[in-house]
Structure 1
Amino acid sequence: MRTNEITTARLTLLVALFFMAVSACSAQAPSVEKVEPPNWWAGHSINPVRVLVRGKNLNGARVEAAGQGIKTGLVRVNERGTYLFVDVFINTDASPGTRQLRIRSGGGTVDAPFEISALLPRQGRFQGFSPDDVIYLIMPDRFADGDRTNDDPPQSRGLYDRANKFYYHGGDFQGIINHLPYLKDLGVTAIWLTPWYDNVNHPDEIEKKEGGTTTGFHGYGAVDFYGVEEHFGTLAKLRELVDDAHRLGLKVIEDEVRNHTGPYHPWVDDSPTPTWYNGTRASHLKNVFQTWMLHDPYAEEKSRRETLEGWFLDFLPDLNQHDEEVRRY
């Protein structure tokens, strides 16, 4: 009897080990496609920073910090295992440089680079603007072409056409840099640039104008809030523009629109949370532009909701700022 019990126990253990091995083999390794933000500053007032990781097979993942001066906290993974949120704590004395967010799951381990940056000197920066400023609004694509090499970039061929008012016309950061002395002489104290973040790399089939396709030349159809539109230049060139403007005593204002994304943003078809947007591509309210209703105590609730939650132009996905993760993002 005792022998039978031992044999049964051993058999049960072997079966359990077998299924554990099968489960481990069938679990797919996690992968990382994007980290947002890709960096943060030691000594910043926001600490921890909530980091959003996009990838695959992130279900059940744990995140560890590899490197000095950094540690991780709360982790949240969406149901599909395609997005992971993690709190990242940075020591105030952490040295600048790249650390790794080590993501472990049943299928394996993957490292995601995360950069710690030093705070910029405040001298000549972060001054804000006031009614005393003379602000010059610039849409980069329609201002000046200072670099012909980025007119038709390899990753987005065919979107440059000066004969088509809805396509890119060649304006860029270098064109603005070239004209900073002129703007200074004009009496301008600040330049306000329409969005420079990355837009879609192919003709826009959703927003059609006059029977034809359009492009993101205006910058308001973001597909990556941390990317720079290649038709305008690079992140390094953008930094050069800001530094040159500051040397001339000019402020730079970024037109940062976080009310909506572009219709081709990866979030639209695979959202980090179920309530990331107000509605879906198939079912949503339409923004009716009745902003005055927000200040009218007698306004119809339906119109108020359309204004607050509706999709701009009926196709720009409206971010749901009641979602906790959206607010933190």
Structure 2
Amino acid sequence: MRKLYIIVALSAASLAFSQKALEKVEPAFWWKGMNNPELQILVYGKDIVKNEIELSDGIQVKKIQKVENPNYVFITINTSEINVPKFRIHVKNGKKNIDSYTYELKQREPNSINRNSFTSADVMYLIMPDRFANGNPSNDNTKDTAEKSDRKNHGGRHGGDIEGIIKNLDYLKELGVTTIWNTPLLEDNEPSYSYHGYAQSDYYKIDPRYGTNEDYRRMADELHKRDMKLIMDYVTNHWGSQSWIIKDLPAKDWIHYWKEGEKGFKRSNYRMTTQFDTNAAKIDTENCMDGWFDTTMPDMNQSNPLVVNYMVQNAIWWIEYAGLDGLRVDTYSYNDKKGIAEWTKRITDEYPNLNIVGEVWMHDQAQISYWQKDSKISAIENYNSYLPSVMDFTLHDAIGQVFREDSGWDSGMQRVYDNFANDFLYPDVDNLLVFAENHDTQRFNQSYPKIEDYKLAMSLILTVRGIPQLYYGSEIGMSGDKGKGDGDIRRDFPGGWKEDSNNAFTQSGRTDSQNQYFDFTKKLLNWRKSKEVIHTGKTLHYVPENNVYVYFRYNDKERVMVVINNNTNAQTLNLKRFSEGLENFTRGKDIISGKEFSLQNSLNVPAKTSLIIEL
């Protein structure tokens, strides 16, 4: 009985069969009632092309596509024409059936197509799962994955996992987080430096050191029980060198293969401006778009329709399977721009309310805005990315300098003002991701070790237009020096491992300093939750004077005055200058201190202090 059970379990998982004719079927199952009923199924096995593919129950194959590699066949079916919940895919040699696979068309969750997504009403919390919390030490090492756990190695696996995140969801709920973005959780089987997850080796499998596919879906369910959301970090530009598909490519043009490079490798020049620069040399454009991000990350060829279709279906599969609430797309602007636009449009056609934020790491608002859906700038060349949201890297750049600078024509708080002065370039300013740091940048608390600067930055990030994103651990004062390597800006969250002496997940376990950071962040995040005026209100801002930046968020119902004094001395503001923003309001209450202010004549603001005043 035990042997029989194991054989059945493997067949159901589509991992392997006792007969070797059929080794992989992807996606392993699908759903009825999708907006696009056409489904392309990858069927893989040794020399499978020499055999015939036949479906049971009289189901018609709409198209069979063969490629260079005889181990692959792509079959296309119309799911709207199939009236049975399960059917068989037969591999036949003449009349002899040599292997079969039971394919299931599941029922979708009610109203799946209209699922809600993250918006400017949310606060996003970025987690590096390997470094957050180890909830299940038994999966730190597995027989099927190469790299083993070693907390002493800054660039190695430390053992954090999905169970560790689930166990600490109440901590995040208390903090005021509404949405979680994890760096990739899919299998990354590189022999070293695999913890970041961006060199994925199996796009349909959670890395076993994090847990299982079922664990991932359970995490989404636990978040939804708490009225929280889950975003998947999706990588379209490159796959990992250990991917089973990369190791046995369907065709050479599945990736960008450089003849002059070793094993097809040529590093990208990273010059993303060549995607739209009308003066760019073709070779420079090609080197950016087709060059590899790194030696272990083969660059995918999105001009190949099979590649795009695989990625579209895979993303939809995860959204449907796990109940995802959105996607974050890594290195968005390195992709073939036509291919990535098709990928984005097809997913948002399937889920009209789904938000997708793309990493467009550029340093000019016009260049970033090119990539947002319905951009007036990209429309010049008749291009639309269909990408709903982009990341406000220019605001991040300003924050990296502003709190250590004196007032000047283009320094100090003027940098922040100038950033928002370019908002006219974006088609949807409320759908920009705003942040002080992330998993690739210097830790904010390393650049600014004083809590006063942290409070100024969070007051800004959490009251301006857009979707605020926090980086794990900053809310307890965690720091890290990128100059010492990425591992240092991705330190373990204290208390995430049983042997940790400091447990920052609990008030009693936090130090006094950690509690000061946490309490401030908690107050601001939870206040923000119900503030529509912050989520979607308009902005009125004033040119900074003496390193003091004043702006108002307002709608027809409410006004909030934000004052950020970045000066090392107290400043007294003449409130007559702000009469347009104050309208007829004469009093207000600071939501941070609880102090009430008269707003008729002047306002004294202590050094390095922010005020968020409800009028």
The verdict on a shared fold, with TM-score over 0.5 as the criterion, is yes
Q: Percent identity?
A: 31
The SS at the match of 2:23 is strand
Q: How does 1:79-228 map to 2 (within 5 A)?
A: 79-91=68-80, 94=83, 96=85, 98-106=86-94, 109-122=98-111, 126-156=115-145, 159-200=148-189, 204=191, 214-228=192-206
What whole-Å deviation, never above 9, does each CA across 1:176-204 have from its counterpart, x for those lacking one? 1111111112111110111111121xx62
What whole-Å deviation, never above 9, does each CA across 1:278-328 have from its counterpart, x for those lacking one? 115623432121113323222232221111111112441111111121121
- Structure 2 unaligned segments of length 5 or more: list them: 1-18, 311-615
Are 2:15 and 1:37 equivalent residues in the alignment? Answer: no
- Computing the radius of gyration from Cα coordinates, the structure with the larger value is 2
Change (3 A) 1:182 1:312: same
Alignment correspondent of 1:72: 61
Which of these residues, 215, 220, 236, is aligned with residue 242 of structure 1? 220
Distance in 2 (alpha carbons) for counterparts of 1:45 and 1:123: 11
Distance in 1 (alpha carbons) for counterparts of 2:293 and 2:274: 16
Alignment correspondent of 2:383: none
Compute the displacement of 1:108 (Å): 5.2
Change (3 A) 1:300 1:133: farther
Give the count of matched residue pairs: 288
Q: How does 1:263-278 map to 2 (within 5 A)?
A: 263-278=241-256
- One-letter code of the match for 2:272? T
Alignment correspondent of 1:25: none
Compute the displacement of 1:254 (Å): 0.2
Distance in 2 (alpha carbons) for counterparts of 1:95 and 1:80: 32
What whole-Å deviation, never above 9, does each CA across 1:119-172 have from its counterpart, x for those lacking one? 023479831222332111112111111111111223236611111122211111
| Structural RMSD (CA) | 2.4
Compute the displacement of 1:255 (Å): 0.4
The SS at the match of 2:25 is strand
1:43–1:93 contact (8 Å) kept in structure 2: no
Alignment correspondent of 2:513: none
Normalising by structure 2, report the TM-score: 0.44
Alignment correspondent of 2:522: none
Structure 1 or 2: larger helix share?
A: 2
The SS at the match of 1:104 is strand
What whole-Å deviation, never above 9, does each CA across 1:29-59 have from its counterpart, x for those lacking one? 9711111111110111222211111211212
Change (3 A) 1:170 1:92: farther
Distance in 2 (alpha carbons) for counterparts of 1:328 and 1:93: 21
Distance in 2 (alpha carbons) for counterparts of 1:118 and 1:63: 25
Q: Which moved more, 1:280-289 or 1:177-186?
A: 280-289
1:42–1:94 contact (8 Å) kept in structure 2: no
2:136–2:161 contact (8 Å) kept in structure 1: yes
- One-letter code of the match for 1:297? T
- One-letter code of the match for 2:26? E
Alignment correspondent of 1:46: 36
2:169–2:223 contact (8 Å) kept in structure 1: yes
Change (3 A) 1:124 1:276: closer
Structure 1 or 2: larger strand share?
A: 1
Distance in 1 (alpha carbons) for counterparts of 2:280 and 2:176: 43
- Structure 1 unaligned segments of length 5 or more: list them: 1-28, 205-213
1:197–1:227 contact (8 Å) kept in structure 2: yes
Compute the displacement of 1:247 (Å): 1.0
Change (3 A) 1:149 1:236: same
Compute the displacement of 1:104 (Å): 2.0
Distance in 2 (alpha carbons) for counterparts of 1:191 and 1:327: 26
1:30–1:58 contact (8 Å) kept in structure 2: no
Which stretches of structure 1, 4 residues or longer, exceed 3 Å deviation after superposition? 91-96, 105-108, 122-125
Change (3 A) 1:296 1:315: same
Compute the displacement of 1:268 (Å): 2.5
Q: Which moved more, 1:110-119 or 1:280-289?
A: 280-289
Distance in 2 (alpha carbons) for counterparts of 1:71 and 1:194: 40
